[in-house]
Amino acid sequence: MIVCRSDELPPGGMRTVDRNGVPIVVVRSAAGSLHSVRGTCAHQGADLGQGRLTWLIESERPGCYQLSRDGEILRCPWHGFEYDVVSGRCISDPSLRLRTYVVAESDGFVRLEDM
Amino acid sequence: MIDVDVHEAFTSLADLVPHLNEPWKGLVRAGHWKGFTQPFVYWGVGGGNRADARPASGGPEGSDISLLRAQVLDAYDVRHAILTGYFYPAMLKDMQVEFATALAGAYNDFQVASWLDADPRLSGSVHVAPQDPIAAAREIDRMGAHPRMVQVLLPLTTRAYGDRFYWPIFEAAQRRHLRVATHHTVLVEGALGMGRYYVERHMLIPQASMATLISFVTNGVFDHFPDLGFILLEAGFSWLPHVLWRMDREYKSLRQEIPWVKQFPSAHVRERVRLATQPVEDLTAEQWTRVIELIGSEEVLVFATDYPHFDFDSPERSLPPRLPAELKRKILFENARAFYGFPAEAATASSR
């Protein structure tokens, strides 16, 4: 399934597609990698396509912020739950997880692989 | 049993004079300071204390060790009682921190000489003036070597002790293998202030312990001081499920702001924090077990009488008779024994 033209999904960009009634969010990280997760928050069902791509924020000690993996963390637009778009894992609540999908790029298009 | 909150007192400020250095010794001896007082009138039958706790000698409640023995230590087969004082130099707030520090040191020496040396069942709290954390750390290093000093006492006023400003205190406590206890002072406020009435303020008191716990969590105290155990005194415990749920929920939403907090706040609390049960809220056995189930651990609650204060909890009557025996044993003895590292062999001797 075609998601969009490659130039419609720049680094840090995000697109939502509907596949058989299932919303799927496709993102391109700041480094350029493509990832895809189910577009409904596992917490209260918000539309993750309205969320924001951020960094992974870690810390070695209180008061210190370490940012990495720019554009690989998707935060829900409602309560801010963080999802790792690579694994689908919810960072702040390991009991939650999003389904991930295989996404590829060819001939100038971003495509979702068939399930 | 183990009683984790017993308020010993001096007879008068004169008891501190031998333990003070100049220039403070002369100033206190000359009556240039009258000591702390509460900014309200007490409505309890005995004021702020049990009406039967005033020594025949005429000193204040908590000042007579033989009465403490008769009313607590011998009355209830107490294996260990943790002294918590009620003379808190934190109440000088930001003024004359050198004087506050001197008072803390003098009180600690008084505590050792007049109490710890007098009865082997007593363990002590290192008192500090937390408004000067460096000096407080020095005092912790000085007193921490005493074998029966088991914790540092942080008096709750209007300060949130999770702030990094206070971390020299935690560093010293961890270095000296001491626990950290918090206990409110008469200056502590609720979220909207002192309230208009004493009874109102008394209802508000647990809010300061909630705020303290939240401050410890969000500032990363549990993550940064992995060997420190904390005990919240005289705030009750039935509020804890709400605070745990609230902290976990906020953490799930806003963890990015405090990435130094490496696990759910509730997990930190269950592992590292103990709550003294007093004042119990006269719950039924079913309510007790339900609250403990909601807290998610039978190891969190430890028993305290708060002697000689008027909201004293009787070790024999404040826990419902139908509370399961093993749970009661944990609350009355085992949880505090493990927390403070008292020898295990006393466990069989004290099961009441």
In the prediction, which pLDDT does B49 show? 97
Cα distance between residue A80 and residue B234, in whole Å: 36
pLDDT tens for chain A, 115 residues long, are 999 999 999 999 999 999 999 999 999 999 999 999 999 999 999 999 999 999 999 999 999 999 999 999 999 999 999 999 999 999 989 999 999 999 999 999 999 998 7
Q: If you average pLDDT over every residue of chain B, what do you get?
A: 96
Cα distance between residue B81 and residue B75, in whole Å: 13
Cβ proximity of A12 and A111 under 8 Å: no
Residue B108 CA from chain centroid, whole number: 15
ipTM for the assembly: 0.95
pLDDT in tens, B110-169: 999 999 999 999 999 999 999 999 999 999 999 999 999 999 999 999 999 999 999 999
pTM of the model: 0.95
Kindly tell me if the per-residue pLDDT of B346 is higher than 80.
no
In the prediction, which pLDDT does B351 show? 42
pLDDT in tens, A50-66: 999 999 999 999 999 99
Residue A68 C-alpha, separation from nearest chain B C-alpha, in angstroms: 12
In the prediction, which pLDDT does B345 show? 63
pLDDT in tens, B294-326: 999 999 999 999 999 999 999 999 999 999 999
Cα distance between residue B126 and residue B83, in whole Å: 10
B134: enclosing H helix or E strand: helix B133-143
Residue B19 C-alpha, separation from nearest chain A C-alpha, in angstroms: 39
pLDDT in tens, B209-258: 999 999 999 999 999 999 999 999 999 999 999 999 999 999 999 999 99
Kindly tell me if the per-residue pLDDT of B55 is higher than 50.
yes
Residue range B24-48: mean pLDDT, rounded:
96
Q: Give chain A's radius of gyration (CA, Å).
A: 14
Assigned token pair, B101: 């520090």
Size of interface A-B (CB pairs under 8 A): 40
In the prediction, which pLDDT does B142 show? 98
In the prediction, which pLDDT does B249 show? 97
Residue B350 confidence class, pLDDT cut points 50, 70, 90: very low
A61 and B224: CB-CB below 8 Å?
A: yes
A80 and B256: CB-CB below 8 Å?
A: yes
B212: enclosing H helix or E strand: helix B206-218
DSSP symbols for A11-36: TT-EEEEEETTEEEEEEE-TTS-EEE
Q: Which residue of A has its CA nearest to B263?
A: A92
pLDDT in tens, B27-36: 999 999 999 9
B198: enclosing H helix or E strand: helix B198-204
Cβ–Cβ contact B226 with A under 8 A = no
pLDDT in tens, B2-11: 999 999 999 9
Cβ–Cβ contact B245 with A under 8 A = no
Cα distance between residue B155 and residue B185, in whole Å: 6
CB nearest to A92's CB, from B220, B223, B255: B255
In the prediction, which pLDDT does A114 show? 82
Residue B347 confidence class, pLDDT cut points 50, 70, 90: very low
CB nearest to B259's CB, from A43, A58, A79: A58
Residue B251 C-alpha, separation from nearest chain A C-alpha, in angstroms: 7
Kindly tell me if the per-residue pLDDT of B352 is higher than 60.
no
